[in-house]
Amino acid sequence: MVAGGDGMARDDAGRVVFVTGALPSEQVRAEVQEQKRDFAKATTIEVLRSSRERVAPPCSFVAEGCGGCDWQHIGAPAQRRFKADIVQDALRRQARIELEVSVGAELPAVGHRTTVRGAAEGGRFGFRHRRSHDLVPVSPCLVAHPLIDELIVDGRFPDGEVILRAGARTGERLAIVASHDGLSLPEGVRVVTAPELRAGTRAWYHEELAGRRWRISARSFFQARPDGAEALVAAVAAALEGALRPDAHLVDLYGGVGLLAGAAAPVGHVTLVESGASSIADARVNLADLDARILKSDVARWRPARADAVIADPPRVGLGAAGVAAVVATHAPRVALVSCDPASLGRDAKVLTAAGYELQTATLVDLFPHTSHVEVVTRFDRA
């Protein structure tokens, strides 16, 4: 299995072929859909000899082409093992680092997602078809939290993009839609349109986790399940263990609404750096009781300050050269890096290692069961 969720095979000439829907040790009949000089992409048409890890997808909409969950054909325990293997392989190939990856805590695989992004057509919510923009109506959704699934099943929406968000522990719900035309939702759901947001309308909901209450605006990123957010916080806290004194200075890069700094290490002085305006506004509310300096800035333009530890939770592209430079300039002896793509982790680990840091631990946090999405927390110590 490789990053992105496909199985990797080779053709008779030795060229790599990425096969969607195939598992290691299987023999499949696959249709080649794209060919390049160095690789090809194919889709499984028929499984001729199946892996012991293959299961019947628990959601019927997979057969209709729903692209929301790409790994439902893999048993839940095997999904986490495959993800850990993918991370290990990325570290080995890109950073020349051999390290065992902990599979982390097991999280419920159904009824957990408190944020879903899809679209509506003819009033019904759906997810995009695999490899196309066509919609597959889903009702109910296997992985949606009940507060969200009620909106998917009973709601009626105007045609266009739809984002549904909920606080699992507060009961608050927020719907972001294209317009108010033809909209029908239960009472108490906060509704805001995309044009209203562009015009400056503010809308948010709240979630409770790690002993704190969090404000999350419509445009702000937040983990799509509170138990997963707590697992992520726990992994970051474990990576920082022993590195923070009561008066320590913690730098939180790409800090979002303040979750990791506020929950994983709420001690000493915090400097949070974030470029998103709505996330900055939320962080100032969420961390108001802490000694925290909230800075609206791109990490690449931030003037680094000396720190005792750094948390970095970059977007999918990873830290990159500019992000690593910012981390190194803090002279922090400990770094907790959160990566949501194994390839970007491999690249970042290579550059951090070259800059004088050593990778100590890597822990998988399986926030999105039934998908190939990988989230991993790594600990780096200055050599």
CA 18 to chain centre: 23
Q: How far is CA 263 from CA 31, 131, 172, 208, 235, in A?
A: 48, 38, 21, 11, 11
Dig out the tokens for 207 from the structure. Answer: 């979630």
The strands making up 249-253's β-sheet, listed across from edge to edge, are: 292-296, 269-274, 249-253, 309-312, 334-339, 376-382, 357-364
Q: Which residues contact 354 (CB under 8 A, 6 or more apart)?
A: none
Find residue 46's DSSP bridge partners: 29
Q: With both helix axes pointing from N to C terminus, report the angle between 342-354 and 320-329 in degrees, rounded to the nearest 10.
A: 40
Dig out the tokens for 102 from the structure. Answer: 């902990």
CA dist 160 and 172 (Å) reads 23
Residues involved in catalysis: 340
Nearest one of 203, 196, 310, 200 to 249, comparing CA atoms: 310
CA dist 351 and 122 (Å) reads 49
Q: What is the largest CA-CA distance in the chain?
A: 63
Beta-carbon neighbour count of residue 114 at 10 Å? 26
CA dist 277 and 144 (Å) reads 28
